[in-house]
Amino acid sequence: MKKIFAILLIAFTAGKACADGLKDLEDFMRATHSGRADFTQVVTAPSRDGQAGRTRTSSGIFAFERPGKFRFTYQKPFAQTIVADGQTLWLYDADLNQVTQRTQAQALGSTPAALLASAPDLAALRRDYQLDAAPDADGLQWVLATPRAREGQLQSVRVGFRGAQLAALDILDSFGQRSAIRFANFQTNAPLEADTFRFKPPAGADVLKQ
């Protein structure tokens, strides 16, 4: 009887914890309209021939404003900027002095950025993603988001919350590459400068339109 009770207790607790992840996502979508955070990103290539995939680590500052605006400023190990201004997605590589310009609607699609910035509310997010509760891990509550469109390069995203605060993204693309993004010093609904989501190609930069 004690064993059965323990199993039932674990099942109930796990179910409640998973449900809390979906509730955290709902709270985040409803209450967080903008934000700013430091981030660290670890990208792991898929293993080959029995050898573990190589990893590379980068870090920088992230900001977003819904709907449709975000900015990733990579500071280490190389300077790179990604800006979505609501109409256009800009990618700037400082070392190459090269800018790639794409129409935002076509560039984003079912991407992690859509989870954070593009969808105005949970209902809109559900139209693009299948959302399922995932087991708690690493002290966070998780939601698994699977794109409904299968032709994209994104296979799945796990979104981790600490309370209603965004804490992590674990991204798996269609090539088996994993990206783990961890956020720190997250400022919910932080006041952002007017030019945060504006981008002007630097003088002399090569601009490629796609």
Contact between 205 and 182 under an 8 Å Cβ cutoff? The reply is no
Signed CA dihedral, 138, 174, 115, 71: sign only: positive
3-state secondary structure of 49: coil
Check residues 141 and 163 and name the one with the higher pLDDT.
Answer: 141
Residues 6+ apart with CB under 8 A from 82: 70, 71, 72, 74, 89, 90, 91, 92
Whether the per-residue pLDDT at 7 is higher than 50: the answer is no
The stretches of the chain forming alpha helices (DSSP H) are: 2-31, 104-108, 112-113, 122-128
Query: φ and ψ at 31, to 5 degrees?
Result: -105, -20
Classify burial at 96, counting beta carbons within 10 Å of its beta carbon; exposed 0-12, middle 13-18, buried 19 or more: exposed
How high is the pLDDT of residue 127? 85
Whether the per-residue pLDDT at 16 is higher than 70: the answer is no
How high is the pLDDT of residue 42? 94
Whether the per-residue pLDDT at 1 is higher than 50: the answer is no
Query: φ and ψ at 124, to 5 degrees?
Result: -65, -40
From residue 202, give the alpha-carbon distance in Å to each of 34, 73, 137, 165, 205. Answer: 27, 15, 43, 35, 6
Cα 83 from Cα 5, distance rounded (Å): 52
Going by pLDDT thresholds of 50, 70 and 90, the confidence category of residue 149 is: confident
Domain residue ranges of the chain, discontinuous segments joined by +: 2-191
pTM: 0.81
Convert the pLDDT of each residue in 167-204 to its tens digit: 999 999 888 899 999 999 999 998 999 899 999 999 89
How high is the pLDDT of residue 150? 74
The CA-CA-CA angle for residues 62, 153, 141, to 5°, reads: 55
Whether the per-residue pLDDT at 17 is higher than 70: the answer is no
Task: Work out the average pLDDT over 2-23.
Answer: 41
Convert the pLDDT of each residue in 50-66 to its tens digit: 777 789 999 999 999 98
What's 47's DSSP letter? P
Convert the pLDDT of each residue in 89-148 to its tens digit: 899 999 999 999 988 877 665 456 656 777 777 888 888 889 998 888 889 999 999 988
Going by pLDDT thresholds of 50, 70 and 90, the confidence category of residue 15 is: very low
Whether the per-residue pLDDT at 75 is higher than 90: the answer is yes
Q: Pick 2-191's CATH classification: 2.50.20.10, 3.30.70.120, 3.90.950.10, 2.10.240.10.
A: 2.50.20.10
Going by pLDDT thresholds of 50, 70 and 90, the confidence category of residue 154 is: confident
Check residues 147 and 15 and name the one with the higher pLDDT.
Answer: 147
